[in-house]
Structure 1
């Protein structure tokens, strides 16, 4: 894996701090607090100089654990202008999980916010020689971030180099895996890297972009899209925590032009009362991007009907195997598709590696000129993501098919497949059916042991606000599903829960569900 760092002689932040010094680089939409380009440039320079003084050099690793906070951006950009590999740690990690990621990524420095102090308190003795800084009030055995940086200049370091982000997989099917991607080479010293340029061209990012995200900033897409917007001089609006009604209010208040969503957010907005949904001026909204999970045809159609043909979807993973994308107008002609490949060449293969024809489900691979990533310090897991005969074809374990025009349709994840009586059952179709019922707020489907069939289908349902669980409602939901999926896919049982284990970025933790319900 080529992890070389390329020179960046005229960094974007320096340019925007000079020509638009008081323009907002980011706004905490929950509080109204603003970070200007001048402040972001100065603070990230101080952090870059601090890291250089402590001996960090291009290719070294650091980690950060914070809530959605304006200070997050100075840490990220300090690393990005220093050639450093930075790992954002899931803010919902347990202390053991956080310690594992910080140690596994070989971080020489970690930065916490005071809000994450409960995790920090339990890391004593677990981080070895990793230096520990805390923003705000400081715990014992931690250094003050502000004090550590106070003596450093706000001027850029002499030889700025482009850093990178090393993300960790969600860990919902096992321990998180570090994803070391091939480092991009810039085509122009003062421009964005090629993958960022393509993204900006597709969605028309510019210095007039106002970008809203309600997802955690540690996650891949919100983080990378936010940095891309700032690379082009736009403004990022973030929420401390997603709320359906507040999201609509922010579009109106900040005249949002672009936004990023997951399907769960769409569902929650669609379940608002009509008077709530229609009470906002959304005319500034030009592009609503969604990803990170399956979106049912019904939900997507309702969003297009509501917002117009501004809904854009992309599919890909943190690994960077490849990407697909689809516009609203394309989707209307290819309902249910996640688009055609924009990065890489799609290959649909059997589990043995045989290429499959259109309309036949198989493992989704992307062919690239070279393998685009490796799982950090884990060659066995890296090999498991490669095609049996083609090491430059990689997969993240999704199942799907393509049509004759090359449009990809996802069926489910291989790890979630239920095998009942030798028949493969894909939970996504059942979940899509359940979520259409007005009493359902969210739904997950798993396989549980069955002595005769091997596994049987169980649905776990989170009810909509104000709805009470009952055996009659369970029967009603089963009857509802019978009209929408094949008979063999209808759940054998339904359990109700107050809250499903879905992450703030919309990922369902099915491992946790199997731990609770998988014994029945």
Structure 2
């Protein structure tokens, strides 16, 4: 049964954030940083308003900085309008889904806001996906247009006939580079670009193929898009996510929900100023964290977005040294990877005031070392695609608590409930984290049953196990599906990982449950040692003894293996399921899950 006030449509079940059920108390409000409001007024604007407002208030402020190329907010707005015109001439109309498979290059925000200007729906796609993964999302979303790179053209052609695609728009990362940088880019890409060029050439007669730079040049810079009536409740983005189970599903994010989350994030930063900040944008825009925390929140701030298409330490350090970013939303692996460079050149990093770490747990030792070296404030936050995504963050003060995901942002309710009944648990007791607020998705695209399953009385079930202390700080214990049950006892992988990461020989650690004939499951740890440490039986025993001193006997790893690297997602999250599958395959044991 749908929660009260929700509506069902042919494409999805839509859930209003106003919900019945138990009322969450809000002890966290008294621990907000001074200046953070307990309540914020959310305007009934569409997401397009962000760019229009920034271009009006700060027309000459640099909006996009890309390896030497600068676009002001008024130029950004005009280019987005020009691209909207080009799409309109292709027949794109309100409600159409347009897929964007690009890294963080200027064409991404231009395309994003151009699409929204028509009332069409943006479908972000990871350009690293395989043909199978791409095909699933193109077919499921019903996208008829895709904007992508030359290097992906042949891959899309291979699946074109199995989809509803009518138009393939291609753009190069070199298109917005300064002339010398464009030449250097072409030289360094070599064979990859040559093969892409050949594919281009062979397909030039393809009526479905369009070149974005040509499209922009053809449009009259003073022409206006034919008016489209767009409401805050209209769909802005279909953000695909694995969710808790199964194939990737499209989380329906409206203009209202994405604008709300940008404003919620902005309200958390009391010491920053509109039109004065610069944001290091290396977290991918095709990931919802990068989309909201890097792109949309930056535009709300009228901040300069320093665009980096791919996380390469050399490029990131160079950008920090030259551009002096003040804000750096990232993921734990980025901060960890930058520590050696920050240690060598701490002055480069002194411009950074705040770093928000999301998408994965932030190890305490990484947080402490990064803050000590850079003098910036690095805090852990939390979110999920279904929430647009940010729901929690630590205060940007000494009230930050290591190991906690922090406090719910303004206008967000959160609670810990039992998995079985959804009833609230006592302070400090472990249960499932549930959230509600104006930023929450309406449901999953064309998946009414899965939408019903993830909402309970209007609260979004996160699938994460956690607890709340008396002050309203929340702590994640584990993903419900990652919890290990060994001989009937619960083991939380993150707890074991945190212990291993405290050992001076350990660079990275991942813990999973693997099948065991006697215990059902047993604890397996996969370790990447620091470069100067050599794997040996002696170091293995040392680590096990260290765990025995810090953990109850049933939590100590029974399997401990050394790896040169851990499998990770494109944003640096360790893929525990892949590690588990590798272990099962290598040891030829039956999978019990």
TM-score bracket for the superposition, by shorter chain length: 0.7 to 0.9
RMSD: 3.0
Give yes or no for contact 2:352–2:376 (8 Å, CA) kept in 1. no
Q: Residues 25-174 of structure 1: matches in 2 within 5 Å? A: 25-28=63-66, 31-117=67-153, 119-136=155-172, 138=200, 140=203, 141=206, 142-146=208-212, 147-154=214-221, 155-159=223-227, 161=230, 164-170=236-242, 174=246
| Cα distance change, pair 364–20 in 1 and its aligned pair in 2 (3 A) | closer
Aligned counterparts, 1:276-425, within 5 A: 276-278=344-346, 280-308=347-375, 310-320=377-387, 323-329=391-397, 331-332=399-400, 334-342=401-409, 343-352=411-420, 353-368=422-437, 372-387=441-456, 390=457, 392-425=458-491
Encode CA deviations 1:418-455: one digit per residue, 9 max, x unaligned.
11101111101112222233433322111111001001
Q: Distance in 1 between matches of 2:509 and 2:244?
A: 17
What's the CA shift string for 1:17-52, capped at 9, x where partnerless? 577555432223xx3343443442232112211222
Match of 2:62 in 1: 24
Change (3 A) 1:72 1:94: same
142-151 vs 494-503, which moves further = 142-151
Query: How many residues are matched?
Result: 506
> Contact 2:280–2:307 at 8 Å: present in 1 too?
yes
- Deviation of 1:415 after TM superposition, in Å, equals 1.1
Contact kept, 8 Å, 1:412 with 1:428, in 2: the verdict is yes
Give the CA deviation at 1:300.
2.4
Structure 2: how far apart are the matches of 1:227 and 1:292? 17
**CA displacement, residues 306-360 of structure 1 (integer Å, 9 cap, x when unaligned):** 344623432121111871221243544x432212222422221111123210111
**Aligned-partner Cα distance in 1 for 2:372–2:412:** 32
Structure 1 residues 196 and 370: CA distance shift in structure 2, 3 A: closer
The unaligned stretches of length 5 or more in structure 1 are 186-191
When residues 369 and 96 of structure 1 are mapped into structure 2, their CA distance, relative to the original with a 3 A threshold, is: closer
Distance 2:152 2:48 in 1: 35
Instruction: Tell me the residue number matched to 1:447.
Output: 513
C-alpha separation in 1, matches of 2:472 and 2:53: 41
Contact persistence 1:269–1:277 (CA under 8 A): no
Structure 1's 80 and 231: CA in aligned 2 closer, same or farther, altered over 3 A? farther
TM-score by length of 2: 0.78
Aligned counterparts of 1:22 and 1:356: Cα–Cα separation in 2 = 52
Q: Which stretch has the larger CA shift, 497-506 or 131-140?
A: 131-140
Check 1:409–1:255 CA distance in 2 against 1; reply closer, same or farther (3 A cut): same
Distance (Å, rounded) in 1 between the aligned partners of 2:504 and 2:244: 28
Following TM superposition, by how much is the alpha carbon of 1:405 offset from its aligned partner in structure 2, in angstroms?
A: 1.7
State how far apart, in whole Å, the 1-side matches of 2:448 and 2:404 are. 33
Deviation at 1:129, TM superposition (A): 4.2
Q: Secondary structure at the match of 2:513?
A: strand
Deviation, 1:275, is: 4.6
With normalisation by structure 1, the TM-score equals 0.88
1:85–1:433 distance in 2 versus 1, CA, 3 Å: same
Structure 1: distance between partners of 2:74 and 2:378: 33
Q: Are the aligned partners of 1:304 and 1:328 in contact in 2 as well (CA < 8 Å)?
A: no
